[in-house]
């Protein structure tokens, strides 16, 4: 996914911090006042089904394709007049920017999320954590020393 992903520390998973400021890469999100049509086009172009929603840089929710389909399209609402804020999910689990990756992974498992917005101490959106991001920092399992041995089976 094309989200900003800059993590601090590489010595070990437990000490690796979640996210910091943008490293020159775009952090994709929509504004609360954006039309749902704009949101849907952005989802299509980015090939994602979830986007953070901000107002004045602060996270105010997330909007998903499911939100758009079930809350707006199925109700016959006009996609041009509808705004992201009208159909977004307001109760959002987030990661704090200074949270370590181990705690973030635990939060992902407990909440069963596809995306966790990352906010700073002022609630400003500073990044997005995805399962793909976590995979980059989860230590690989040790290589097995097991070797297959042939043992004849008695008939």
- For residue range 66-113, what is the model confidence (pLDDT) as tens digits? 999 998 888 888 777 889 999 999 999 998 888 888 888 888 888 888
- Domain over 13-135 is classified CATH 3.40.50.1000: no
Q: How far apart are CA 117 and CA 52, in angstroms?
A: 7
Q: pLDDT: is 139 or 64 the higher one?
A: 64
Q: How many CB atoms lie within 10 A of CB 126?
A: 23
Tokens in use for 144?
């097995």
Note the pLDDT of residue 79. 72
Note the pLDDT of residue 60. 96
Contacts 24+ apart (CB under 8 A), 116-121: 117/52, 117/59, 117/62, 117/92, 118/18, 118/19, 118/94, 119/58, 119/59, 119/94, 119/95, 120/96, 121/96, 121/97
Average pLDDT over residues 26-36: 88
Note the pLDDT of residue 34. 93
- For residue range 46-64, what is the model confidence (pLDDT) as tens digits? 888 999 999 999 999 999 9
Whether the model pTM is above 0.75: no
Note the pLDDT of residue 43. 92
Q: Are 61 and 53 in contact (CB under 8 A)?
A: yes
């Amino acid at each position: 996914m094309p989200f900003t992903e800059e993590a601090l520390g590489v010595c070990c998973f437990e000490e690796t911090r979640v996210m910091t400021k943008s490293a020159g890469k775009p952090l994709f999100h929509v504004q609360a006042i954006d039309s749902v049509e704009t949101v849907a086009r952005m989802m299509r172009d980015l090939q994602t089904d979830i986007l953070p929603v901000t107002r004045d840089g602060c996270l105010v929710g997330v909007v998903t394709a499911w939100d758009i389909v079930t809350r707006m399209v199925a109700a016959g609402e006009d996609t041009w007049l509808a705004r992201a804020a009208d159909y977004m999910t307001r109760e959002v689990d987030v990661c704090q920017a200074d949270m370590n990756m181990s705690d973030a992974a635990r939060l992902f498992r407990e909440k069963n999320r596809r995306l966790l917005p990352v906010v700073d101490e002022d609630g400003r959106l500073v990044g997005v954590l995805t399962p793909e991001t976590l995979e980059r920092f989860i230590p690989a399992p040790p290589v097995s020393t097991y070797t297959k041995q042939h043992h004849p089976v008695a008939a």
